[in-house]
Structure 1
């Protein structure tokens, strides 16, 4: 099952009050699906509910599969995915377009660091996992972490332009808030994947290349033109 780093987000837990506390780089054993619960009567088919309870939906899906599946289950908890082509989340494009247009990028005060993974390596892990004997939760992430300034630096290098990053104490709801800005550290440890035999490339080695390719893939993009 393709799960997500959002299972470690403490903002919206349904079955734990208060929500459990996780390490700055959460480990798989800190959230055991066998010790959680799931509720099929919740309005999972309602789009508004799904959007607001994405992490909870993944937690409950992990639990349902762990308890009920008749086959071995591996839960791939995938970090924030970045890709030069097919940037389906739009997160990298957000930074490219604003930097090109001279628009501000808002961040939390002293933004935390988070986990990223290159799209090709996330897909590679899923293909590897299909043939592996490993089961249970596995964090799918580069071994290092990054913050909004690291992402902006990669785009700055690719465009030759400077990013205008503005830190705010409470930027919630700000349309210019970077999707890679976290109020505190929010990452995952990738030690288990490495121990199982699948290693991920450090962010510092692939992010600049992804940014360059993404900029080249959007030669005429401009934030102001798209508004």
Structure 2
């Protein structure tokens, strides 16, 4: 009989995170969920309460426990990474951080972007930036993730580290982002959809698929970053067409603007992710075109 793993999930008790926790519990893992007490974990998981932004509180919440795997769903800054690295180094078999496609936001590539475009070891870290400021953090989301990866990757053998760079996530009736709702409202009412002069396609992943991939990554032994994106690119036209299919006679009306305020997924730069590393390591991706209609229907509460 395979020994149950001790798994710690930091944050992420909704949307993707709750799916990951459910999968881990179903697999027989002993799961502890760490958050600030805002929401209890699902039945079967242990609840650890602590502030991951406070090194002392984080250490007290964990106590003397050791973990086979830590899945960090909510690391956004190098400061958070530095605190976690200090607490978990030497007593964690594997540390997996949920990262983002936005680490590539400086890229503009005609080809699919591989993990080597952003090497964590080459990223400069600045712990003195105002990472505590919510507005600064929102404006520097990709940079915060880049630097967090860099901090963890410098941990060496005392903290085996992998990052999962997640494409734009779609699907689920519990999608709280409102991004597909933005398009549904405008298509239903005929209101304009603000886009930049040039809009580029992007890579996406279904919410169930990324939950599968994170659980898969927890059980592997690779280190470094992996891109997580379904096969195929999706244009904004295709996304809007999938939404419009639920509103007879509705269509997307685009309004070009030079303003920074544009609609979700209206990307000025082209940095679609190459998923071949994860595929070579053994994960099987779906095709974005196959799951898109279901994803839109789930979120909008419509029939496929």
Q: TM-score range by the shorter chain?
A: 0.7 to 0.9
Matched, 1:79 2:167: yes
Match of 2:8 in 1: none
Quote the offset at 1:68 in angstroms: 2.1
Partner Cα distance (1:165, 1:24) in 2: 29
TM-score, length-scaled by structure 1: 0.84
Residue in 2 aligned with 1:7? 103
Cα pair distance change 1:113/1:133, threshold 3 Å:
same
1:200, CA displacement in angstroms? 1.6
- Bigger shift: residues 22-31 or 187-196: 22-31
* Displacement of 1:167: 4.4
Query: 1:74, CA displacement in angstroms?
Result: 0.9
Supply the distance in 2 between the matched residues of 1:140 and 1:161 (Cα, whole angstroms).
35
Contact 1:110–1:167 (Cα < 8 Å) also in 2: no
Q: Distance in 1 between matches of 2:129 and 2:201?
A: 33
Kindly provide the CA deviation profile for residues 71-109 of structure 1, in whole angstroms up to 9, marking residues without a partner as x: 211110001111231212221111112212221212233
> Which residue in 2 is equivalent to 1:134?
222
Per the normalisation by structure 2, the TM-score is: 0.63
Partner residue, 1:225: none
SS of corresponding position for 1:188: coil
Q: Tell me if structure 2 keeps the 8 A contact 1:99–1:161.
A: no
- Partner SS state of residue 298, structure 2: helix
Return 5+ residue gaps in structure 2 as ranges.
1-96
Question: 1:169: how far off?
Answer: 5.3
| 1:189 correspondence with 2:189 | no
Q: Which has the larger radius of gyration?
A: 2
Contact 1:76 1:139 in 2 (8 A): yes
Q: Which residue of the partner structure matches residue 14 of structure 1?
A: none
Structure 1 counterpart SS, 2:292: helix
Q: Contact 1:158–1:211 (CA<8 Å) still a contact in 2?
A: no
**C-alpha separation between the residues in 1 aligned to 2:154 and 2:110?**
26
The DSSP-based 3-state class of the residue aligned with 2:260 is coil
Classify 1:64/1:25 alpha carbon distance in 2 versus 1 (closer, same or farther; 3 Å): same
1:26 counterpart SS class = coil
Q: How many residues align?
A: 206
Deviations 1:170-222 (A, max 9, x none): 2422xxx321111242311111111111122111000111112222269xxxx
Structure 1 residues 108 and 24: CA distance shift in structure 2, 3 A? farther
* Whole-angstrom distance in 2 between the partners of 1:74 and 1:178: 32
Instruction: Give the RMSD, CA atoms, in angstroms.
Output: 1.9
Does the 8 Å CA contact 1:105/1:163 hold for their aligned counterparts? no
The correspondence for 2:234, drawn from 146, 158, 168, is: 146
